[in-house]
Amino acid sequence: MQSSGLIMVFSNGITSIANETTLPIFTFLSAGLVNFFVPSGGGQWAVQGPILIDTAQQLGADLPKAIMAMAYGDQWTNMLQPFWALPLLGITKLRPQQVLPYSFIIFLLGLVIFGLGLLIF
């Protein structure tokens, strides 16, 4: 992600349409997308963090809020990647197909809750 330049494409796209109010929500959504390619929170911060800080400073956005938006986005899409559920699936003898509909509902609910929280507060 970092050496391919793809993260810069995401960043430039967001910077061109975001302002200080909408940057956190765009950061949240982009962090969710990047999480599919860089599933580690620390790795994602290494890739996306420096660009996020620069973008927030350029737009005059609230930096702590933007950083939290990135963390929320990273965690939000974990509902669609049920690696966290592997021990649970082993214990309960369930298949991933039996868990994903429920985690997808939580994924959508998280979008609403985090999205509104980032826009309101």
The structural domains of the chain, with segments of one domain joined by +, span 6-120
pLDDT tens-digit profile of 36-89?
888 888 999 998 898 899 899 989 999 999 999 999 999 999 888 777 888 989
pLDDT at 16 > cutoff 70: yes
Q: What is the pLDDT of residue 7?
A: 73
User: 85 in helix, strand or coil?
Assistant: helix
The stretch 88-95 carries a mean pLDDT of 92
Higher pLDDT, 20 or 11: 20
Cα-based distances in Å from 115 to 6, 47, 59: 24, 23, 20
Confidence of residue 28 (pLDDT cuts 50, 70, 90): very high
End-to-end CA distance of the chain: 31
Rounded CA-CA distance 45/116 in Å is 23
Tokens of 91: 């214990």
User: 26 in helix, strand or coil?
Assistant: helix
Q: What is the pLDDT of residue 101?
A: 92
Tokens of 65: 């809020």
pTM value surpassing 0.85? yes
